Amino acid sequence: MSEKNYQIRLKSRPKGWVSPENFDYVEAEIPDIGDGQVLIRNLYLSVDPYMRGRMNDAPSYIPPFQIGEVLEAGVVGQVIKSNNPKFAQGDHVVGMLGWELYSRSDGSGLMKVDPSLAPLSYYLGILGMPGMTAYVGLTAIGEAKKGETLFVSAASGAVGSVVGQLGRIFGCHVVGCAGADDKVAYLTQELGFDRAFNYKTAGQVHKKLAELCPAGIDVNFENVGGEILEAALWNMSNFGRIVLCGLIAHYNDEKMAPGPRGMGLIIQRRLKVQGFIVFDHMDLGMEYIQKAAGWLKDGQLKYHESVAEGLDQAPQAFIGMLKGENFGKQVVKLD
């Protein structure tokens, strides 16, 4: 065990795009633990788009990061000391912990995970929040049904790649978009998407969607916003559902962007547009984990990760993820 802890703290709030100068990499003491607490050696750290919003000093569904404080993320680690009867030394756990090598916790929000079922990093992706988000959005919000057309933006990402595979399992016709040809090939050749396209080279996206979804889109699982959302809106079927999961195209905007054109179509086609937060549906999230473990085992679900090595690489991994440089779920290996 290292004699020192290392942490990444928020140094400044970004204006526009995040830069390495917004982070501090510092040495710290390994924390002591008191009654009811555990000490965790962090092994894998997740970086996700929602963290960009937490870097702003603005109210949201989750408190903002504070200047000078350790950043927080989904983390998988191992308990190395315990004064909490719910956790024993050696247990592997997942929870919201710090961007650091060692974290102290009172056990709140921690969940034991089984390293024999899947690689530990999977509990930050396909067996964690991104996977649960895909399932909740597609079932509770999108109400996807067999025979319907599902369109997924950012389809090769941590959430989108699971959405498309679940759509296939549910019997949907699945169309996705991504920002590189190798990602598009991955969607159709590996994940079983029916059709996919590179939105950067497709020309007019709304026309491409009309070509690939001639009967219209029944469920749009939206991760991007901007031009992609507008294109999907113009191609929605009557009584279609737009699942607003993320708007990554706008997370680094310095000025608020105008809404998509064609909003009148929501009325004309009687569309449902709904945002959601996975934490409001944890019962469904836990249902998903049980099902997903089986789908992974029998090969119905496949998974791809981008892995950065070392805590000091976490800021660049986060920035790269925001720019779409990752392939699948972006994690940072700390051990």
Structure-token match 């942490």, residue found: 7
pLDDT in tens, 12-69: 999 999 999 999 999 999 999 999 999 999 999 999 999 999 999 988 888 999 999 9
pLDDT in tens, 154-208: 999 999 999 999 999 999 999 999 999 999 999 999 999 999 999 999 999 999 9
Using an 8 Å Cβ cutoff, are 197 and 174 in contact?
A: no
What is the percent of the chain with per-residue pLDDT over 90, rounded to a whole number? Answer: 87
Q: What is the pTM of this model?
A: 0.89
Distance CA 307, CA 53 (A): 23
Architecture of domain 129-279 in CATH? 3-Layer(aba) Sandwich (3.40)
Using an 8 Å Cβ cutoff, are 167 and 147 in contact?
A: no
Please, how many CA atoms are within 13 Å of residue 180, restricted to the half-sphere of its CB? 11
Residue 2, pLDDT > 70, answer no
Domain extent listing, the chain: 5-125+304-333, 129-279
pLDDT in tens, 96-127: 999 999 999 999 999 999 998 889 999 999 99
- CATH code: domain 5-125+304-333 is 3.90.180.10
Which tokens is 328 given? 């699948």
Using an 8 Å Cβ cutoff, are 67 and 11 in contact?
A: yes
